[in-house]
Amino acid sequence: MANTVFFREILAVLKHILLVEDDEAIAQTLIFSLQREGWQVQWCALGQQALDYVAQHPVDFIILDVGLPDINGFDLCRQIRQQYQTPLLFLTARNDEVERIIGLEIGADDYCAKPFSPRELVSRIRVICRRLQPQATPIHSNSLAKIWQHDPEKLQISYHGQLLNLTRYEYRLLEVLLKQPERVLSRHQLMQAAWEHPDHSLERTIDTHIKVLRQKLKNIHDDEVIKTHRGIGYSLAKY
């Protein structure tokens, strides 16, 4: 039960969407539909803008039009894939099999052929997020499992073989970070995932909890395992 609740919260957090589409009418329709789902949307009309944006902001999902004025969407996808594994869905101009195949071969998770209904797009995004979710919880990866043991039933986490004595929020913050090692999570994202009643005005309290959490980890082992990303948020170091 606790896992189900947590899973839903993570799905909710996975929704900072970058929309790359040069057709303003299509973009506005999509922005409206995506925001109605409670997702944040950043719209870029040009490929270069999108590249600049992903270099500076954590993005949970990318919707990418193949036909952009400044760069081919496939080339843009290849460039993004060199550094990021963000889930990505192509918007193709027509139901073109070649475009679909190329898109999937270069690492897109799905595609939508224009014209499509916003509802269809939303449901495809949901499916992709659900499908990818288990991969975003690699505490079972070998190197991490040596250092961390997580017992979600008992709400306990051990670090280097020692059981951590954590407050409720320290536990939940660490749980969120452990599910997505190396991923930079903003205070907003951490709060959305770890708090029952997220409150924007309280996001700075994340810093206080992280500080105490770090000290507890440091008492066991000297590594700086929670990294600060100035002006952005925090990530868990991968060993």
Shortest CB 8 distance to Ca ion, Å: 34
**DSSP character string of 50-81:** HHHHHHHS--SEEEEESB-SSSBHHHHHHHHH
Shortest CB 79 distance to Ca ion, Å: 18
Residue of minimal CB distance from Ca ion? 67
Q: Where are the alpha helices (DSSP H) in the chain?
A: 2-13, 24-36, 47-56, 73-83, 97-105, 118-132, 142-147, 168-179, 187-194, 205-220
CB-wise, 20 or 213, nearer to Ca ion?
20
**By rule CB under 5 A, what string of x and - marks binding of each residue 143-182 to Ca ion?**
----------------------------------------
Q: How far is CA 177 from CA 56, 66, 136, 235, in A?
A: 20, 33, 10, 6
Residues 12-51 that bind Ca ion (CB under 5 A): 22
CB-wise, 22 or 37, nearer to Ca ion?
22
- C-alpha span between 62 and 86 (Å, rounded): 7
The verdict on 96 binding Ca ion (CB under 5 A) reads no
The verdict on 65 binding Ca ion (CB under 5 A) reads yes
- C-alpha span between 226 and 54 (Å, rounded): 22
Size of the site for Ca ion (CB under 5 A): 3
Shortest CB 92 distance to Ca ion, Å: 10
Q: In angstroms, how far is CA 1 from the centroid of its own chain?
A: 23
The verdict on 58 binding Ca ion (CB under 5 A) reads no
Shortest CB 32 distance to Ca ion, Å: 18
CB-wise, 60 or 65, nearer to Ca ion?
65
- C-alpha span between 105 and 101 (Å, rounded): 6
Q: For residue 176, with 0-12 CB atoms within 10 Å meaning exposed, 13-18 middle and 19 or more buried, which class applies?
A: buried
CB-wise, 67 or 107, nearer to Ca ion?
67
Q: Which of 45, 49, 58, 67 binds Ca ion (CB under 5 A)?
A: 67
Return residues touching Ca ion (CB under 5 A): 22, 65, 67
